[in-house]
Protein backbone atom coordinates (compact mmCIF):
# COMPACT_ATOMS: atom_id res chain seq x y z
CA UNK A 1 0.00 0.00 0.00
CA UNK A 2 3.00 2.31 0.18
CA UNK A 3 2.56 2.66 -3.59
CA UNK A 4 -0.84 4.22 -2.92
CA UNK A 5 0.83 6.80 -0.68
CA UNK A 6 3.42 7.50 -3.42
CA UNK A 7 0.64 8.02 -5.99
CA UNK A 8 -1.29 10.33 -3.67
CA UNK A 9 1.88 12.32 -2.97
CA UNK A 10 2.53 12.75 -6.71
CA UNK A 11 -0.92 14.37 -7.14
CA UNK A 12 0.13 17.25 -4.88
CA UNK A 13 2.82 18.42 -7.35
CA UNK A 14 4.87 19.98 -4.54
CA UNK A 15 7.49 22.63 -5.23
CA UNK A 16 9.31 22.83 -1.89
CA UNK A 17 10.33 20.59 1.00
CA UNK A 18 7.73 22.25 3.26
CA UNK A 19 4.94 21.56 0.76
CA UNK A 20 6.16 17.98 0.48
CA UNK A 21 6.07 17.48 4.25
CA UNK A 22 2.60 19.03 4.54
CA UNK A 23 1.32 16.88 1.68
CA UNK A 24 2.61 13.75 3.38
CA UNK A 25 1.03 14.81 6.69
CA UNK A 26 -2.30 15.34 4.92
CA UNK A 27 -2.14 11.87 3.39
CA UNK A 28 -1.35 10.31 6.77
CA UNK A 29 -4.19 12.33 8.34
CA UNK A 30 -6.56 10.78 5.81
CA UNK A 31 -5.26 7.30 6.66
CA UNK A 32 -5.84 8.06 10.35
CA UNK A 33 -9.40 9.17 9.65
CA UNK A 34 -10.00 5.98 7.68
CA UNK A 35 -8.62 3.93 10.58
CA UNK A 36 -10.88 5.71 13.07
CA UNK A 37 -13.87 5.09 10.81
CA UNK A 38 -13.00 1.38 10.69
CA UNK A 39 -12.91 1.39 14.51
CA UNK A 40 -16.46 2.88 14.69
CA UNK A 41 -15.04 6.01 16.31
CA UNK A 42 -17.51 8.23 14.47
CA UNK A 43 -20.44 6.54 16.22
CA UNK A 44 -19.44 8.54 19.30
CA UNK A 45 -17.45 11.51 17.98
CA UNK A 46 -17.65 14.21 15.34
CA UNK A 47 -14.81 15.54 13.19
CA UNK A 48 -14.27 19.29 13.61
CA UNK A 49 -11.68 22.04 13.28
CA UNK A 50 -9.25 23.13 10.61
CA UNK A 51 -8.43 19.71 9.21
CA UNK A 52 -12.13 18.98 8.75
CA UNK A 53 -12.56 22.27 6.88
CA UNK A 54 -9.75 21.29 4.50
CA UNK A 55 -10.77 17.67 3.97
CA UNK A 56 -14.56 18.05 3.93
CA UNK A 57 -14.90 21.48 2.36
CA UNK A 58 -11.68 21.83 0.35
CA UNK A 59 -10.46 24.99 2.05
CA UNK A 60 -6.88 25.80 1.09
CA UNK A 61 -5.29 25.63 4.52
CA UNK A 62 -3.07 23.22 6.38
CA UNK A 63 -3.80 22.09 9.92
CA UNK A 64 -1.41 20.07 12.07
CA UNK A 65 -3.97 18.55 14.43
CA UNK A 66 -7.05 16.43 13.89
CA UNK A 67 -9.82 17.66 16.18
CA UNK A 68 -12.95 15.88 17.36
CA UNK A 69 -15.76 16.34 19.85
CA UNK A 70 -17.64 13.60 21.64
CA UNK A 71 -21.31 13.49 20.72
CA UNK A 72 -22.14 12.72 24.37
CA UNK A 73 -19.74 13.99 27.07
CA UNK A 74 -17.65 11.23 28.63
CA UNK A 75 -14.87 12.17 31.07
CA UNK A 76 -13.72 8.53 31.02
CA UNK A 77 -13.02 8.57 27.28
CA UNK A 78 -9.76 6.86 26.32
CA UNK A 79 -7.95 6.92 23.00
CA UNK A 80 -6.36 3.52 23.66
CA UNK A 81 -8.84 1.16 21.93
CA UNK A 82 -8.95 3.42 18.88
CA UNK A 83 -5.18 3.76 18.73
CA UNK A 84 -4.80 0.00 18.59
CA UNK A 85 -7.04 -0.15 15.50
CA UNK A 86 -5.30 2.88 14.06
CA UNK A 87 -1.93 1.11 14.26
CA UNK A 88 -3.39 -1.98 12.57
CA UNK A 89 -4.75 0.09 9.68
CA UNK A 90 -1.52 2.07 9.31
CA UNK A 91 0.36 -1.23 9.14
CA UNK A 92 -1.86 -2.21 6.21
CA UNK A 93 -0.60 0.93 4.43
CA UNK A 94 3.04 0.03 5.12
CA UNK A 95 3.42 2.44 8.03
CA UNK A 96 4.58 1.47 11.49
CA UNK A 97 3.57 4.35 13.79
CA UNK A 98 3.85 4.82 17.51
CA UNK A 99 0.56 5.90 19.06
CA UNK A 100 0.73 7.59 22.43
CA UNK A 101 -2.37 8.26 24.52
CA UNK A 102 -1.69 11.52 26.33
CA UNK A 103 -3.76 10.77 29.42
CA UNK A 104 -4.72 14.16 30.77
CA UNK A 105 -7.65 13.14 32.94
CA UNK A 106 -8.19 16.56 34.52
CA UNK A 107 -8.62 18.36 31.21
CA UNK A 108 -11.60 18.69 28.90
CA UNK A 109 -9.40 17.86 25.91
CA UNK A 110 -7.75 14.48 25.63
CA UNK A 111 -4.87 14.09 23.23
CA UNK A 112 -3.02 11.37 21.43
CA UNK A 113 0.13 11.65 19.38
CA UNK A 114 0.90 9.57 16.30
CA UNK A 115 4.58 9.41 15.36
CA UNK A 116 6.00 7.54 12.40
CA UNK A 117 9.51 7.17 11.06
CA UNK A 118 8.81 4.19 8.78
CA UNK A 119 8.09 6.57 5.91
CA UNK A 120 11.74 7.67 5.92
CA UNK A 121 12.75 4.12 5.09
CA UNK A 122 10.30 3.78 2.19
CA UNK A 123 10.06 7.11 0.39
CA UNK A 124 12.78 9.37 -0.98
CA UNK A 125 11.51 12.74 0.21
CA UNK A 126 13.40 16.02 -0.03
CA UNK A 127 12.24 17.49 3.27
CA UNK A 128 13.79 14.63 5.25
CA UNK A 129 17.34 15.29 3.98
CA UNK A 130 18.23 11.61 4.52
CA UNK A 131 17.38 11.85 8.22
CA UNK A 132 16.18 8.35 9.08
CA UNK A 133 15.44 9.55 12.62
CA UNK A 134 12.80 12.01 11.36
CA UNK A 135 9.36 11.31 12.80
CA UNK A 136 6.21 12.55 11.18
CA UNK A 137 3.93 13.73 14.04
CA UNK A 138 0.17 14.15 14.02
CA UNK A 139 -1.78 15.13 17.11
CA UNK A 140 -5.33 13.95 17.79
CA UNK A 141 -7.48 15.96 20.17
CA UNK A 142 -10.98 15.31 21.43
CA UNK A 143 -13.21 17.56 23.53
CA UNK A 144 -15.28 15.49 25.88
Q: Model confidence over 96-109: pLDDT tens digits?
A: 999 988 876 557 78
Q: Identify the weakest region by mean pLDDT among 4-18, 62-76, 79-93, 98-112.
A: 98-112
CA distance 9 to 27: 8
> Is 39 strand, coil or helix?
coil
Give the residue-averaged pLDDT of 71-89. Answer: 93
Q: What is the pTM of this model?
A: 0.87
Q: Average pLDDT, whole number, for the chain? A: 86
CA 140 to chain centre: 7
Checking if the pLDDT of 126 tops 80, the result is no
CA distance 43 to 16: 38
> Is 40 strand, coil or helix?
coil
Fold of the 27-143 domain: Nuclear Transport Factor 2; Chain: A, (3.10.450)
The predicted structure's pLDDT at residue 131: 63
Q: Where are the domains of the chain?
A: 27-143
Beta bridge partners of 113: 100, 139
pLDDT class for 129, splitting at 50, 70, 90? low
The predicted structure's pLDDT at residue 92: 92
pLDDT class for 132, splitting at 50, 70, 90? low
Amino acid sequence: MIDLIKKRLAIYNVSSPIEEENALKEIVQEIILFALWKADFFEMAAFQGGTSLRILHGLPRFSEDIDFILIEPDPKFSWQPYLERLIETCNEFGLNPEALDKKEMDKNVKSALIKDNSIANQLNLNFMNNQSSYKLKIKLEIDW
